[in-house]
Each structure stands twice: as C-alpha cells, then as structure tokens.
Amino acid sequence: MITIYTNEEYSKSYTELLEILKYFSKSDLIKIPQNILKRYIKDRDINHNFSYNPKLDIDKQNISKLTQILLANLYIKYFADENERQCIENKDLEELAELEKKNQEEYNIETIFNQRKEKSIIDASINNSTTDITSLTVIPDKENIFKRIFNKIKHILKLT
C-alpha cells in the first residue's frame, strides 16, 4: 500500500532527521550531498520539538515512519556498500513479488466472478421467497412474418 505524506509530515521528518544526523561523524556527513542537507534545513519544521538519545536503540525512540524511510534511503544511497545494496534490493524485490502474488490471488477474475455468482445465488434464493410480479421480466415472443400477417388479418376480420 502506498502512503502519501503531507508537506507538514515531511517538515517534521526533516527536523527529526537533522537531529539524528547531528550524531553522525563528519566523514559520514560528507557522503550526503550538500543540496540534500540544505533542502532538509530549508524545509524543516522549526516548531517541531524532537530530541534524539544516541544511547537508546533507534527502534525505541519516538521517530516517525517517514523519518525512518528517509533515514533508510540515505543509508542505501550514501552509506551502504554494493553488497548491502544488492541484498536490500533483492529483499525489496522478494517483498514486491510476494505482494504482487497476494494481489493476484485477491483480485483474480475467477475468484471475483465466483464470489459474485455465489452472491447472486444467495440473493436469488432470498428473492424467490418474496418474489412479486414487478421483479419478473417478460421476454417477448418472436413471431415470424407469416404469423404476424395472419394475426393482423384475424384482427381485421375480428376472428379473435
């Protein structure tokens, strides 16, 4: 499922991310392009209070999901070596394939058709017990040309 974040959520996440980046070494910070850091600084929410405790594990801190995503993206792009990137990419591909398989099973045309068919059978059984004349459809009888002419003549001669 794709989550769409608001500009306000991004601003708060930039504030949190900048607070976390304060605890990175200078050699690691140099790996992040300056234009990205400047954008984080420019677009951060100055009023958002966030404090990071480097002694605690990152999972135990009150970090937003978006901040975690941004931090993970920074790691993948600028800190991970090629082997780590490949492992992460493979894991992402496996998760994507699993999600695709789940969606195919859930939205399979035959499954949907069978569910609708079962629902219509159930609805029909419910309606059969309370059927009224308005729900019946009349199928007109198709007459051939000779029968229509014969019926017209009978009607004119008032034989019917």
Question: What tens digit of pLDDT does each residue of 100-130 get?
Answer: 888 887 777 776 666 666 666 666 666 555 5
Look up the pTM and report it: 0.61
- 51 within a domain of the structure (yes/no): yes
The alpha carbon of 111 is separated from its chain's Cα centroid by a whole number of angstroms, namely 20
11 and 75 in a single domain? The answer is yes
| Residue numbers of the domain that contains 20 | 7-79
Burial status of residue 57 (CB atoms within 10 A of its CB: 0-12, 13-18, 19 or more): exposed
The residue from 56, 79, 102 where one domain ends is: 79
- Beta-strand (E) ranges in 77-121? none
Please, where are the H alpha helices in the chain? 7-21, 26-29, 34-43, 65-74, 82-106, 109-129, 145-156
pLDDT in tens, 29-48: 999 999 999 999 999 999 99
